[in-house]
């Protein structure tokens, strides 16, 4: 009888505990069900759009277009998957397993950053946004399905985006903002599209100015640095670019100047580098300065653009030559110049 009473009391205690846990579980469930957790389109503060038609990547933050990059995509239309995916892997110096090349090796075609996507049901190790060892391939249809970027630019993007950042890949003739809206994103005007026609002039500041300076520097028009401040050097570069394109040289980057910048991918006729002789360690002058600007823009750091071909510039030239599969002698002859100016 005593044992029966103890057992009965034990069962009552057990039922009481189970009841408490059930109430707690229901409370937590209800809390999360009605807490107003936003959906992905409302909660996302960062997302990426890759347009295969233009081979450009747009990075959005807080509903504004922050930066636009040139990329390389699949050799054929079907290779780079289209749709909305997520970044599910982030790896610094990922090895290239197929070629048995370790991470960080200059021969590694994945460059120094890997952001894997869950495209086509994969786990993030098949398709990704990554750097590369062949800067001249950026902008072309060159890959087996991944999205290639310049190493210095993918480093920056890698530092900005967390795991689960949305990535939209599409082939479209629409603007990035229009594409974003079609996927349910509420984008704000005034972002740095780099081709939106935002008018910039002396005194302007911000990301749009930095993008303008990058584009001018890439094309051989020195802005004296990329600091996001439209000063005298940037004004001078804009005027020189406008003059080379037959535009009104007023130093104001309006729609016509932006259109010309975005349509320019070849060296300007007045390029001192294109018209120079062979450059090597000890060379000095405008052609060396332009060489340094080009190498820096391609991700090969010359530690300054002072017009002096010193050890750092030689090291950058050697790295570029190796990545481009040229004779790595540190001398900038016709073949190296052609690859840099491509």
Tens digits of per-residue pLDDT, 165-190? 999 999 988 888 889 999 999 888 65
Q: What is the mean pLDDT of residues 75-104?
A: 93
Domain shared by 247 and 299, yes or no: no
Residue 34: its pLDDT value, please? 36
Q: Please state, rounded to an integer, the average pLDDT across all residues of the chain.
A: 81
Question: What is the chain's alpha carbon radius of gyration, rounded to the nearest angstrom?
Answer: 27
Residues 197-210, mean pLDDT to the nearest whole number: 74
Domain assignment of residue 272, yes or no: no
Cα–Cα distance, 337 to 95 (Å, whole number) = 30
CA 150 to CA 148: how far, in whole Å? 7
Dihedral, CA of residue 218, residue 219, residue 220 and residue 223, to nearest 10 = -70
Stated length of the chain: 342
Specify if 229 maps to a domain: yes
Is residue 218 domain-shared with residue 119, that is, in the same domain? no
pLDDT of residue 266: 40
Q: How confident is the model at residue 200 (pLDDT cuts 50, 70, 90)?
A: confident
How far apart, in whole angstroms, are the C-alpha atoms of residue 65 and residue 227? 18
pLDDT recorded at residue 256: 77
| 146 flagged as catalytic | yes
Q: Are 101 and 107 in contact (CB under 8 A)?
A: yes
Asked if 234 and 326 sit in the same domain, the reply is no
Q: How confident is the model at residue 59 (pLDDT cuts 50, 70, 90)?
A: very high
Q: Which domain holds residue 233?
A: 207-263
Which residue among 2, 6, 26, 130 is the active-site one?
A: 130
pLDDT of residue 151: 84
**Two tokens, residue 129:** 């946004």
Catalytic choice (2, 6, 26, 146): 146
CB atoms inside a 10 Å sphere around CB 124: 20
Q: Is the dihedral of CA 154, 156, 162, 166 positive or negative?
A: negative
* Predicted pLDDT of residue 24: 54
**Element at 5 (helix H, strand E):** helix 2-33
Whether 130 is a known active-site residue: answer: yes
Q: What CATH number did the domain enclosing 317 receive?
A: 1.10.101.10
pLDDT of 265 higher than 80: no
Domain count, the chain: 3
pLDDT-wise least confident of 111-125, 182-196, 278-292 = 182-196
Answer yes or no: is 303 within a domain: yes
Non-local CB neighbours of 248 within 8 Å, separated by 6+ positions? 242, 256
By the 8 A CB rule, do 185 and 176 touch? no
Alpha carbon 157 to chain centroid, angstroms: 5
How do strand 113-117 and strand 83-92 relate by DSSP bridges? antiparallel
Instruction: List all residues 6 or more positions away from 53 whose beta carbon is below 8 Å from its beta carbon.
Output: 171, 172, 173
Q: What is the pTM of this model?
A: 0.51
Residue 76 has pLDDT above 50, yes or no: yes
């Amino acid at each position: 009888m005593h044992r029966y009473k103890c057992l009965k009391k034990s069962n009552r205690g057990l039922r009481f505990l189970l009841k408490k846990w059930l109430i707690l579980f229901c409370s937590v469930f209800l809390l999360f069900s009605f807490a107003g957790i936003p959906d992905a389109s409302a909660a996302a503060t960062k997302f990426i759009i890759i347009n295969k038609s233009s081979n450009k990547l747009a990075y959005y933050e807080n509903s504004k277009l922050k930066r636009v990059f040139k990329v390389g995509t699949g050799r054929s239309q079907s290779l780079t998957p289209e749709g909305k995916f997520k970044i599910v892997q982030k790896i610094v110096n990922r090895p290239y397993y197929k070629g048995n090349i370790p991470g960080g090796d200059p021969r590694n075609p994945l460059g120094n950053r890997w952001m894997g996507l869950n495209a086509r049901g994969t786990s993030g190790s098949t398709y990704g946004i990554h750097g590369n060892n062949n800067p001249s391939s950026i902008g072309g249809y060159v890959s087996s399905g991944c999205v290639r970027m310049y190493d210095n630019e993918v480093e920056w993007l890698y530092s900005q985006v967390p795991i689960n950042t949305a990535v939209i890949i599409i082939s479209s003739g629409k603007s990035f903002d229009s594409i974003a809206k079609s996927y349910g994103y509420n984008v704000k005007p005034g972002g740095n599209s780099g081709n939106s026609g935002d008018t910039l002039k002396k005194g302007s500041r911000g990301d749009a100015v930095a993008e303008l300076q990058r584009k001018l520097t890439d094309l051989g028009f020195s802005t004296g640095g990329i600091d996001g401040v439209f000063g005298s050097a940037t004004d001078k570069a804009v005027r020189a670019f406008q003059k080379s394109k037959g535009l009104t040289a007023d130093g104001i980057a309006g729609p016509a100047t932006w259109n010309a910048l975005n349509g320019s991918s070849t060296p300007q006729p007045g390029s001192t580098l294109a018209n120079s002789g062979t450059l090597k360690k000890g060379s000095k002058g405008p052609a060396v300065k332009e060489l340094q600007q080009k190498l820096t823009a391609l991700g090969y750091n010359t530690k300054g653009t002072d017009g002096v071909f010193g050890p750092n510039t030689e090291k950058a030239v050697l790295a570029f030559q190796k990545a481009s599969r040229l004779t790595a002698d540190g001398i900038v002859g016709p073949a190296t110049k052609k690859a840099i100016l491509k």
